[in-house]
Amino acid sequence: MTDQTAGTAERKNGAKLNLRENGMLMALVAIVLFFVIVVRALLGVDFLSAQNITNLFLQNSYVIIMALGMLLVIVAGHIDLSVGSVAAFTGAVSSVLVLNLGWPTLAVIPSVLVIGGLIGAAQGYWIAYWRIPSFIVTLAGMLVFRGLTLWLLGGQNLGPFPKSFQLLSTGFVPDVFALDKPNLTALLVVALAAAVLIWIGWRARKRNEAYGITQEPDALFWLRNLVVTAALIFVGYKLASFRGLPNVLVVMALLIVLYAFFTEATTTGRRVYAIGGNLKAARLSGIKTERLTFLTFVNMGVLAALAGMIVTARLNSATPKAGVGFELDVIAAVFIGGASMSGGSGKIVGVVVGAFIMGVMNNGMSILGIGIDYQQVIKGLVLLAAVIFDVYNKSKS
């Protein structure tokens, strides 16, 4: 094989390795452009208005937060069907602590996170150490915590909440420069985030080159970064011209960075992938598979509790119907974002893109007045297409 032929083959392999991630990003861009055009043509409304972009973050924060934990569960070769019920239950617990017992918000938040972790530990124990299928354990958990939510709330809504608790979801980061508009703090934070993303991507690229790892073509790398940077700056400008950065956006960004670092740059993170890739080989290599599996469910419980409090704060009421269908959106976001059904693969970036695809579709279809029945059909078809794409890629590898 000549050097030119080898180089061509290497470039093709690099493009194939990144096809799923880049394809989902381009799909997100295409979906956004579609709704921009259609909403403008039919309703004369700006789909990318500052208010609607803010609503996108507020409405879909719980999906992204829980999807980060669900990715680790799925990568480890399991599933968690109880996240919606756990979010509803922990939201109900937070309402009881705040409204009935008079606890301050600063005490409620860590307490509810601990309760979420204990719920995850209770389910993870049977899955990890007794090897009961996660589908069965978390299906039972879904029913148990849905029932406990009804019992705790007595079948009634509980609210409203004090402003300190509502700030979890409806608060905004103040402008430290004390300007009215635009919010200079928001602009600087978003610009810094864009620069950091480019630097991290370039650094990872150079490191992979040093180890001889196949890379995507330079043009594709810079095109993706150009699209992401332009999108971030645009969103940052829109937010700065409205009310600034929502608190939930800051929380999501910190969690995304934390989990991306954990999955890509830590030994423990790589071991979670090893468990899902080949459980028997992971055990033979000395990895404590039971403990890691247990901890992935503890982590999932904590994130479900955080999402539950955010949803409760946004609704300004704890309701027995909260969390219904959450698990479907979260699992769909993970699979659409590129995670494998068999475990062992998936990226945080892909999960975030998958969650935004679901969120943009929900928001756009609601603005257009599409009924919930058709929305469910469309989302189901998108999920099926993503899974078929994953299976097709594996069959060709």
pLDDT for 119 equals 97
- Residue 386's pLDDT band, with cuts at 50, 70 and 90, is confident
Orientation angle between helical segments 247-265 and 163-170, nearest 10 degrees:
60
Query: Tens of pLDDT along 226-251?
Result: 888 888 888 888 888 888 889 898 89
Whether 365 and 375 have beta carbons less than 8 Å apart is answered as yes
Q: Two tokens at 375?
A: 């929305």
Which structure tokens are listed for 229?
């940077």
Per-residue pLDDT at 180:
66
Q: Average per-residue pLDDT in the chain?
A: 87
- Rounded to an integer, the average pLDDT of 252-264 is 90
| pLDDT confidence of residue 10 | 47
Note the pLDDT tens digit of each residue in 266-310: 999 999 999 998 889 999 999 999 999 999 999 999 999 999 999
Taking a C-beta distance cutoff of 8 angstroms, is the pair 65, 299 a contact? Answer: no
Instruction: Tell me whether residue 227 is exposed, middle or buried, using C-beta atoms within 10 angstroms of its C-beta: 0 to 12, 13 to 18, 19 or more.
Output: middle
| Residue 376 reports pLDDT greater than 90 | no
> How does residue 140 score in pLDDT terms, banded at 50, 70 and 90?
very high
Place of tokens 């969690």: 255
pLDDT tens-digit readout, 314-339:
989 999 988 888 998 899 899 888 88
Q: Is 350 exposed, middle or buried (0-12, 13-18, 19+ CB in 10 A)?
A: buried
For residues 301 and 188, what is the distance between their CA atoms, to the nearest angstrom? 34
Cα gap 338→345, rounded to integer Å: 8
The residue-averaged pLDDT of 154-173 equals 87
Kindly report the three-state secondary structure assignment for every residue of 43-74: HCCCCCCHHHHHHHHHHHHHHHHHHHHHHHHH
Give the highest mean pLDDT range of 173-177, 212-216, 296-300, 337-341.
296-300
Q: Which residues contact 300 (CB under 8 A, 6 or more apart)?
A: 66, 69, 70, 72, 73, 80, 83, 120
Interatomic CA distance for residues 195 and 118, integer angstroms = 38
The SS3 assignment for 158 reads strand
What pLDDT score was predicted for residue 311? Answer: 93
Residue 175 pLDDT > 90: no
Beta strands (DSSP E) in the chain are none
Beta bridge partners of 318: 158
pTM above 0.85, yes or no: yes
